[in-house]
Chains A and B, each alone.
Chain A
Amino acid sequence: MEELTKKAKQALRDGTISGFLGLKNEAGQISPLLVTRDNLENLELLTLEDERYPLAKILARIAARYREETLGVMVRGCDERAIVELIKAGQLSDGRVIKFGVACPQQLAEKCHCTRPFPSQIDAGEVATGMADEELVFPIEQRSTDERFQFWMGQFGKCIKCYGCRNICPVCYCTECALEDELLTSRGKVPPDVPLFHLIKACHMIDRCIDCGLCEQVCPVGIPLRTIYRKMGQLMSELYDYVPGRAVEEKSPLGALEEGSQLVV
């Protein structure tokens, strides 16, 4: 922790980065924090406590206004994967992001059912053991098709259409959203079109979801969204050996029809 604060302070002082995005603890409430050279003293508020916010998404919003600036950001495993996806999508510029890695403690890794609770480079924290990939999907996959269908229709039927899953998602960046398109989703209807609403979201996440689980965490009615997205991730991995958030160089197999694309027969 001290190491990370020191490193961030140094980078801000010598101008390597113009801003550092992390998390702060103020009177027990944890929220995102941006430190610049003008308020270096705020680095003291920096915390590694077990709350998560979509830092990659916030970073992209700041970067959109400051395209020429290099920004530093505290990254957990999930934040780093989200940054990779946002770089692929042109929402962040690879050379303009400097990551300060934080490994999550075992307790948080377990709470999040995280398969990879650490980033590629670690400046703070000890590496915890990730959970098995199948863990969330397995119990539901054991049921019959009918049971699963009923289960999911029931889950989607609970939706109050708060759009929280989309709003918190670090890799949802579109300015025009299919979930607000009147041709695709009915207006003013709760629950929203079951199951179409959630399946549209799922299809859009298939080559993007970095399995951070924030969508499920903020869902007011507790729809196990992550189970669907993780299953899709497993399929992408099995069929195309593609894992969203793994590397900036990897292209989504669904991204483009071009020579060498796996979708071109």
Chain B
Amino acid sequence: MNYRTVLTVCPYCGCGCGIYLEVLDGEVIGVLPSMSHSINQGALCIKGWNAHEFISSDKRLKEPLMRKNSVLSEVSWEEAIGYTATRLKQIRDNHGPDSVGVLTSAKCTNEENYLMMKLTRAVLGTNNVDHCARL
């Protein structure tokens, strides 16, 4: 019998609500809002309340997928990143930097989003960088 609560931050938006993942015998069974967290003070939205569900979802992506001959198939990270970098470079070289754009995510940390902005502006050479919250 092992029940514990793990304090973490909701992964969904930039608000940063404090949540507890409830873990029973190694399985994440639910979310509790942190009552004493200064941001949310016990409140959560529906996404936060269900933030544990994707952990053990069958639909969860565990490997990168690449479309090969119209079929999505699992590939290694090396292959996925290598292909993406090569194609981005080709498109930029052939059509100019403004022919590509980057969308980042609220699920990333501030630092990760900063790095994406740097990659887009300094490496790809375009200001086409935006965020999933404005889609």
User: What residues make up the interface of A, taking CB atoms closer than 8 Å to B?
Assistant: 18-19, 21, 26, 28-34, 36, 38, 51-53, 58, 61-62, 65-66, 69, 160-164, 167-168, 217-220
Number of cross-chain contacts by CB at 8 Å: 80
Contacts of B18 in A (CB 8 A): 29
Q: B87 near A: Cβ within 8 Å?
A: no
Count of residues in B whose CB is under 8 Å from the partner chain: 27
Q: Is the CB of B1 within 8 A of A31?
A: no
Q: B43 near A: Cβ within 8 Å?
A: yes
Q: B22 near A: Cβ within 8 Å?
A: yes
Q: Is the CB of B20 within 8 A of A31?
A: yes
In the complex, besides A30-B36, A34-B4, 14 extra interface pairs with C-beta distance below 8 angstroms are A19-B3, A26-B7, A28-B36, A29-B36, A30-B35, A31-B5, A31-B34, A38-B2, A61-B30, A62-B3, A160-B46, A161-B46, A164-B33, A167-B49
Contacts of B34 in A (CB 8 A): 29, 31
In the A-B complex, the 7 residue pairs with the closest CB atoms: A220-B43, A34-B3, A51-B35, A31-B5, A162-B46, A218-B42, A162-B45
User: What residues make up the interface of B, taking CB atoms closer than 8 Å to A?
Assistant: 1-5, 7, 18, 20, 22, 24-25, 29-30, 32-37, 40, 42-46, 48-49
- How distant is B10 from chain A, measured CB to nearest CB, in Å? 12
Find the A residue at minimum CB distance from B48.
Answer: A162
Find the B residue at minimum CB distance from A217.
Answer: B42
Q: Is the interface of A mostly helix, strand, loop or mixed?
A: mixed
Contacts of A33 in B (CB 8 A): 4-5
Q: Is the CB of A218 within 8 A of B43?
A: yes
Q: Is the CB of B2 within 8 A of A36?
A: yes
CB-contact partner of A163 in B4, B20, B25, B46, under 8 A: B46
Contacts of B43 in A (CB 8 A): 162, 164, 218-220
List 15 A-B pairs, Cβ < 8 Å: A29-B18, A29-B34, A30-B36, A32-B5, A32-B20, A34-B1, A38-B2, A53-B32, A62-B1, A162-B45, A164-B43, A164-B49, A168-B33, A217-B35, A219-B43
Contacts of A38 in B (CB 8 A): 2
Contacts of A163 in B (CB 8 A): 46, 49
Q: Is the CB of A58 within 8 A of B22?
A: yes
Contacts of A36 in B (CB 8 A): 1-2
A224–B36 Cα distance when bound, in Å, is 20
A218–B33 Cα distance when bound, in Å, is 8
Contacts of A18 in B (CB 8 A): 1
Find the B residue at minimum CB distance from A31.
Answer: B5
A32–B30 Cα distance when bound, in Å, is 13
Q: Is the CB of A69 within 8 A of B1?
A: yes
Contacts of A51 in B (CB 8 A): 35-36
Q: Is the CB of A220 within 8 A of B37?
A: no
CB-contact partner of B35 in A21, A26, A34, A52, under 8 A: A52
Q: Is the CB of A19 within 8 A of B1?
A: yes
Find the B residue at minimum CB distance from A220.
Answer: B43
- How distant is A102 from chain B, measured CB to nearest CB, in Å? 16
- How distant is A63 from chain B, measured CB to nearest CB, in Å? 10
A168–B18 Cα distance when bound, in Å, is 15
Find the A residue at minimum CB distance from B3.
Answer: A34
Q: Is the CB of B44 within 8 A of A220?
A: yes
CB-contact partner of A218 in B20, B24, B25, B44, under 8 A: B44
Q: Is the CB of B49 within 8 A of A62?
A: no
Contacts of A19 in B (CB 8 A): 1, 3
- How distant is A58 from chain B, measured CB to nearest CB, in Å? 7
